[in-house]
Amino acid sequence: MTYKEVSQFIRAVSGFHDGFIKQISIYSDDWFDWRSPNDVGHIITGNLHAEIHFAQHPTLLKGTTWPAVQRYIFRQVEDVMLDFRGIHGERWPLFDVRIQKYGQGRMRLECSWEQGAYRQLFTFATMET
């Protein structure tokens, strides 16, 4: 998806007031190459991806076809900064999620747990739903 498509999609399902991150996973394309039982190599690609499941309060979904939990896959993730310090208990519900342009051909995912205070989660090249 292009920056414009990602931004429109996020805006359409945003309004995360009383929503939260249900699941977040970061995974790589790296693997072990089992040539023989005594000859195992590892292939390091450097490619990271992230999958996030955002949950929204059901009252925000009335009249829409969006599911209560939306799944996003972010490809070619870099600059991971998962800083949840101070965000727990009654402060866990999200206030907002936004996408910003970040350099050439990249985007930045930011979340806010209070008005005006955004935290970068990571940068990425593409997003899938």
pTM of the model: 0.79
The rounded distance, in Å, linking the Cα atoms of 59 and 66 is 12
* Phi, psi of 19, rounded to the nearest 5 degrees: -100, 175
> For residue 83, is it left (φ>0), alpha (ψ between -120 and 50) or beta?
beta
* pLDDT at residue 71, as a whole number: 87
Say if strands 96-101 and 69-75 run parallel, antiparallel, or are unpaired: unpaired
List pLDDT tens digits, range 103-128. 888 999 888 888 778 888 989 998 88
Residue among 100, 92, 125 at smallest CA distance from 19? 92
List pLDDT tens digits, range 14-63. 655 667 888 999 999 999 998 888 888 999 999 999 999 888 766 655 66
DSSP state of 5: H
HSE-CB of 80 using CA atoms within 13 angstroms: 15
Residue among 28, 61, 60, 33 at smallest CA distance from 45? 28
The domain spans of the chain are 3-128
